[in-house]
Structure 1
């Protein structure tokens, strides 16, 4: 049994922030944010830096307050219809070492009252990356099916995301893997309970579940000519 990172107070703070999403309220509760959200999240990320090599040596856990694995609490409202200043969830991402300039698969932990989950893969890949993945599926169907349908992976993760209504340009309308070729997202989702998030087993559970996604993540990385 390891120590827990997040507590009931973490979820209470996030719920209170959702109900009082103003800069004035946040400033008055900044120490609570530090104690219940940012500090435990950075501790989790720091400990995950020792675990990531067992998942892949090419994905990074960076425990930095800004620019690392912990996503900003401030919401970018410039192009959003939602104008509240703060996110009401904890987002932790483990990016590929190629960095921000290349659209690469990633691992993700989302903590929010009523909606905690793990995510893997690529959400809304850019057109070039999307074409490469589709081409890899079309040319390596057996390997794709082995990755997509690996028993341990599918026991934990559900494939989700948007799809085209019709076959993508350049691919046969009668291709046997048409449903996969029509995907616009290549993400797997694994729900978590609040009890799991606040337990002392969160880290080993995250590691175990991320490891089951190795065939799927390996396929995506190879399609994009990235090391896995």
Structure 2
């Protein structure tokens, strides 16, 4: 991991095609090493959950619709999706100097899923509040994160609802940041797994919500 961080720091300072081309062999070796790490996480996580797949993200940026025309990302990342339709959500890990984190949840739920989640929170927030106030949850993630979809209230919802701060969200994300020294420590893989496993009560609850109707009847 030390070599990967060293490479990523240099890449951030020299984010151009000429520099990258001259260091392509170094990049290939780093990707091979980190693919092994991401695959090990996948194998370990599969022992505790049912995964649909792993996606190791390319370092090449899509700059077509971005003001930032830097051709390369300054981080390495991998996502692990849970087996749909019964299991929902996904795990994510990002390795970047001074900005590494382990995350999970729902970055972009479908329109139907988002409405179902909001309706659940409109009816009852007892379960989600119990999960997010659990000491283990607070220790690893602090709070439930994610961008709000609207400023006041989604269409059809009361802006004065007691759970409006949850209902407004369009993302439901858990995140734990790591310092560079933590990433480079011998315990990092163990801590990644502990973090992913701490997400399970949240995932189990959300999966139940998204696979039942408002009466609790199974959809699948």
Unaligned regions of 5+ residues in structure 1, if any? 1-5, 63-68
Report the TM-score when normalising by structure 2.
0.86
Establish whether residue 22 from structure 1 lines up as the match of residue 7 from structure 2: no
Query: What is the correspondence of 1:151-170 to structure 2 with a 5 Å cutoff?
Result: 151-158=135-142, 159-163=144-148, 164-170=150-156
Aligned length: 208
Could you report, residue by residue, the CA deviation over 1:174-227 in whole angstroms, capped at 9, with x for unpaired residues? Answer: 32212111112111111101112112211111111111111112222223229x
- In structure 1, distance between residues paired with 2:47 and 2:129: 24
- In structure 2, distance between residues paired with 1:58 and 1:221: 14
- Cα 1:156–1:96 shift into 2, 3 Å: same
Is 2:49–2:82's contact at 8 Å kept on the other side of the alignment? no
Q: Which runs of 4+ in 1 moved over 4 A?
A: none
Cα deviation for residue 140 of structure 1 reads 3.7
Unaligned regions of 5+ residues in structure 2, if any? 213-220
- In structure 1, distance between residues paired with 2:110 and 2:43: 31
Establish whether residue 213 from structure 1 lines up as the match of residue 199 from structure 2: yes
Matched position secondary structure for 2:174? strand
Cα deviation for residue 54 of structure 1 reads 4.3
- Cα 1:127–1:215 shift into 2, 3 Å: same
Q: What is the aligned partner in structure 2 of residue 135 from structure 1?
A: 119
Is 2:117–2:209's contact at 8 Å kept on the other side of the alignment? yes
Is 1:54–1:211's contact at 8 Å kept on the other side of the alignment? no
Matched position secondary structure for 1:160? coil
- Alignment RMSD: 2.0
Matched position secondary structure for 2:120? helix
